[in-house]
Amino acid sequence: MKKLMTGNEAIARGAYEAGVLVACAYPGTPSTEILENVSTYDEIYSEWSTNEKVALEAAFGASVAGARAMASMKHVGLNVAADPFFTIAYEGVNGGLVVITADEPGMHSSQNEQDNRLYAPHAKVALIEPSDSQECKDYLKRAFEISEQFDTAVLFRVTTRVCHTKGVVELGEREEVGIREYIKNPKKYVMVPANAKEKHIEMERDRLPKLHEFSNTTDLNRIELNDSKIGVVTSGACYMNAKEALGDKASYLKIGFSYPLTDEKFKEFAKHVEKIYVIEENEPYMENYIKALGIDCIGKEEFPLCGEITPQIIRRIVLGESTPSTYKLDILPPNRPPALCAGCPHRGIFYEMSKYKNKINVTSDIGCYSLGASAPLYVGDTVICMGAGFSSGIGFDRVNKMAQRGKKVFGVLGDSTFFHSGMTGLVDAVYNKSDLVMVILDNRITAMTGHQENPGTGRNIKGEEAPMIDIVSIVKACGVKEENIKVINPYIMSQNKEAIKAALEAEGPFVIITKQPCALIKEVQKKRANLYSEVDDEKCTKCKTCFRIGCPAISMVDNKVIIDKVQCNGCTVCVQTCPYKAIKVHQERGGKNE
Q: Helices (DSSP H) in 179-235: which residue ranges?
A: 186-189, 193-202, 208-217
**Distant-in-sequence, close-in-space partners of 325: CB < 8 Å, separation ≥ 6:** none
What is the rounded CA–CA span in Å between residue 103 and residue 248?
Answer: 29
The number of beta carbons lying within 10 Å of the beta carbon of residue 76 is 21
C-beta neighbour count of 403 within 10 angstroms = 9
**Burial (Cβ within 10 Å: 0-12, 13-18, ≥19) of residue 237:** buried
What is the CB-side half-sphere exposure of residue 1 using CA atoms within 13 A? 6
Q: Does 260 sit behind a cis peptide bond, omega within 30 degrees of 0 on the bond before it?
A: yes
Burial bucket for residue 179 (CB in 10 Å: 0-12, 13-18, 19+): middle
Per DSSP, 306 falls in state S
Rg (CA), the chain: 27
* Nearby residues of 413 by Cβ (< 8 Å), 6 or more positions away: 364, 365, 367, 369, 386, 387, 389, 390, 422, 439, 440, 441
* CA–CA dist 258, 117 (Å, integer): 8
Residue 385 known to bind ligand: no
Determine whether the annotation assigns residue 568 to a binding site: yes
Which helix or strand (DSSP H or E) is residue 3 part of? Answer: strand 2-6
Q: CB of 453 within 8 A of CB of 48? A: yes
- DSSP class of residue 483 equals G
The whole-angstrom separation of Cα 338 and Cα 574 is 20
**Rounded Cα distance, 525 and 546, in Å:** 23
Count how many Cα atoms sit within 13 Å of the Cα of residue 276 in the half-sphere of its side chain: 24
Look up residue 175 and give its DSSP letter. -
Strand order in the sheet with 251-255: 221-224, 251-255, 230-235, 275-279
Instruction: Note whether 220 and 146 are within 8 A (CB).
Output: no
The DSSP H or E segment spanning 137 is helix 133-150
Is 571 annotated among the ligand-binding residues?
yes
Residue 578 is labelled as binding a ligand: yes
Closest CA to 68 of 91, 93, 50, 33: 93
Contact 390, 429 (CB under 8 A): yes
- Binding site annotation covers 543? yes
Which parts are annotated binding residues for [4Fe-4S] cluster? 540, 543, 546, 551, 568, 571, 574, 578
